[in-house]
């Protein structure tokens, strides 16, 4: 089943929409505003296939907090829905257009306002590219930890909206763990700040964490104060191959039991290894059933840490365990993992999914995905952040398969059921958007969803902020 986000239209709403656009042009004559469908088409979608976005009134590109305030105030006055958007790298439909709405693209607000080396933090606008912040921090000998696979083009605002993870999250945590404070424009145009440069600040409710992961449904983030760390030592990298993906999963569980916390602990199954090797020609062992890439930045203890990892891999039945000879080899191994999704896309239409389980249950989750692929007769590649139990089963479909969306829905329902049975989640780091909205109550329960609805109604009583996302 493909999913469509539609805000009710009709003649009256179309007239109101045109009045809204005229008001925007009058209030913000310098604002870049696109209304021709040919110009707005590429902003209707994110990276999630098989979703059907609405047709927006237009797409705008605010350049300042004042622009965002004015847009929100006019939208509230004219009852026009707003869809905040970063680079469009999302994988759950959180930024796809809604019918009759205005998509608010935050990429022009792309300034790194401050790198504060004394207080180990950065102050940035939401349109800053993740990798650009990382490079700016590195110039000061500092380190921004969250690193989604799309780090070279995803924005900090999008990372905050989805509470994105990344390869290094097993040791350093996800986006929320790097946030000290936010500036947010609420649904009536009010601006609030949820924190600043203080390492400790527990006065009142923790509003930062309310907005992180809310996908623009509660407010629009216009600035963030983010935690930086001292630059860690150079990494050592280990690569282990296995005959089966279940053996790799067992190694992950054993590594966790030993208390080893590497900076990355990444998994690819055999199908994904072969896709990556075909696309990038890196000379990986394409006959293997699975691969683990493990990195340690523990300085003088890194070699000993990887010795423990190697022992766990060998006990699980690894066919080979090697270490990167130098930084260049480590870089291409890391790049191979980052290009897993892209490589699978070369084999067909690839819809990446996102489940998480307790780390001790990773072997069982991998077995369940393997079982579902067989039962449904589908190609499902698996890769992900195995070190924190977050796996990305990716459905690779023939490009001309008219039943692809229906087949994916049937398979993912079984995969989600398996994840929940193991005490897991149907969304580890890709958000809810529209793709997971039907599973919210199943996982959280009606009482928790009622609390979420009460929060949404309190902060956005008109329902204009990204309607149809997270909550129905």
Q: For strands 102-105 and 82-85, give the pairing.
A: parallel
The string over 373-387, giving b where at least 16 C-beta atoms fall within 10 Å of a residue's C-beta and e elsewhere, is: beebebbbbbbbbbb
CATH number of 112-230: 3.30.465.10
Low-confidence ranges of the chain (pLDDT < 70): 1-12
Q: How far is residue 226's CA from residue 178's CA, in Å, rounded to a whole number?
A: 5
Q: How far is residue 204's CA from residue 162's CA, in Å, rounded to a whole number?
A: 24
Instruction: Check: pTM over 0.85? Answer yes or no.
Output: yes
Hey, what are 340's tokens? 């897993």
pLDDT at 35: 97
Q: How far is residue 372's CA from residue 120's CA, in Å, rounded to a whole number?
A: 46
Break the chain into its structural domains and give their ranges: 3-108, 112-230, 236-421
pLDDT digits (tens, 9 = 90+) for 111-148: 999 999 999 999 999 999 999 999 999 999 999 999 99
Q: Does domain 3-108 have CATH number 3.40.50.1000?
A: no
Pick from 416, 336, 424, 429: nearest CA to 369? 416
Pick from 146, 180, 175, 155: nearest CA to 104? 155
Q: How far is residue 201's CA from residue 251's CA, in Å, rounded to a whole number?
A: 39
Count of other CB atoms within 10 angstroms of residue 10:
9
Residues composing the chain? 472
Q: How far is residue 271's CA from residue 411's CA, in Å, rounded to a whole number?
A: 17
Task: Count CA within 13 A, CB hemisphere, residue 270.
Answer: 11
pLDDT at 24: 98
List, in sequence order, every residue forming a beta bridge with 226; answer none if it has no partner. 122, 179
Residue 178 phi, psi dihedral angles, 5° rounding? -105, 5
Return the biggest CA–CA distance within the chain.
Answer: 69
Options 3.40.462.10, 3.40.109.10, 3.30.1050.10, 3.30.70.270; CATH for 236-421 is 3.40.462.10
pLDDT at 453: 98
Contacts of 62 (CB under 8 A, 6+ apart): 31, 68, 71, 104, 106, 108, 109
Contacts of 328 (CB under 8 A, 6+ apart): none
Separation of CA 218 from chain center = 18
Hey, what are 392's tokens? 């990305």
Q: Reduce the secondary structure of 136-156 to three states and give it as a string.
A: HHHHCCEECCCCCCCCCCCEH
Residue 428 phi, psi dihedral angles, 5° rounding? -85, -40
DSSP per residue, 426-462:
S-SSS--TTTSGGGHHHHH-HHHHHHHHHHHHHH-TT
DSSP per residue, 312-368:
HHHHTT-SEEEE-SSHHHHHHHHHHHHTHHHHHHTTSEEEE--EE--GGGHHHHHHH
Strand order in 191-193's β-sheet?
112-116, 121-124, 220-227, 179-185, 191-193
Q: For strands 102-105 and 58-61, give the pairing.
A: parallel
């Amino acid at each position: 089943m493909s999913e469509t986000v539609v805000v009710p239209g009709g003649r009256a709403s179309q007239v109101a929409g045109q009045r809204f656009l005229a008001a925007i042009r009058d209030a913000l004559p310098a604002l870049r505003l696109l209304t021709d469908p040919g110009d707005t088409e590429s902003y209707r979608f994110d990276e999630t296939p098989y979703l059907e976005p609405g047709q927006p009134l237009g797409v705008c590109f605010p350049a300042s907090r004042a622009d965002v305030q004015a847009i929100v105030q006019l939208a509230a006055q004219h009852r026009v829905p707003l869809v905040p958007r970063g680079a469009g790298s999302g994988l759950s439909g959180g930024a796809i257009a809604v019918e009759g709405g205005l998509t608010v693209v935050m990429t022009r607000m792309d300034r790194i306002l401050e790198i504060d080396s004394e207080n180990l933090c950065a102050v940035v606008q939401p349109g800053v590219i993740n990798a650009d912040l990382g490079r700016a921090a590195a110039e000061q000998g500092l380190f921004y930890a969250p690193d989604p696979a799309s780090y070279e083009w995803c924005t900090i605002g999008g990372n905050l909206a989805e509470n994105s993870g990344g390869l290094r999250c097993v040791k350093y945590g996800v986006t929320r763990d790097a946030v000290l404070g936010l500036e947010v424009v609420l649904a009536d145009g009010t601006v609030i700040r949820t924190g600043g440069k203080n390492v400790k600040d527990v006065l009142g409710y923790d509003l930062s964490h309310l907005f992180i992961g809310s996908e623009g449904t509660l407010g629009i983030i216009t600035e963030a104060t983010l935690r930086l760390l001292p630059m860690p030592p150079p990494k050592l990298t280990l690569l282990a191959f296995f005959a089966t993906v279940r053996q790799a999963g067992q190694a992950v569980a054993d590594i966790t039991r030993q208390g080893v916390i590497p900076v990355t602990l990444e998994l690819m199954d055999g199908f994904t290894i072969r896709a990556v090797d075909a696309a990038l020609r890196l000379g990986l062992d394409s006959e293997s059933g699975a691969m683990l890439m493990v990195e340690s930045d523990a300085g003088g203890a890194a070699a000993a840490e990887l010795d423990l990892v190697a022992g766990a891999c060998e006990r699980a039945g690894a066919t080979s365990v090697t270490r990167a000879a130098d930084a260049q080899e480590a870089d291409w191994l890391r790049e191979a993992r980052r290009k897993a999704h892209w490589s699978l896309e070369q084999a067909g239409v690839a819809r990446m999914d996102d489940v998480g389980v307790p780390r001790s249950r990773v072997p069982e989750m991998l077995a369940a995905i393997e079982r579902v692929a067989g039962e449904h007769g589908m190609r499902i590649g698996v890769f992900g952040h195995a070190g924190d139990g977050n796996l990305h089963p990716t459905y690779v479909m023939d490009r001309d398969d008219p039943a692809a969306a229906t087949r994916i829905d049937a398979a993912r329902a079984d995969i989600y059921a398996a994840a929940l049975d193991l005490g897991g989640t149907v969304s580890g780091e890709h958000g809810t958007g529209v793709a997971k909205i039907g599973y919210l109550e199943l996982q959280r329960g009606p009482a928790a969803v009622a609390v979420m609805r009460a929060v949404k109604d309190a902060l956005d009583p008109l329902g204009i902020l990204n309607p149809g996302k997270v909550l129905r």
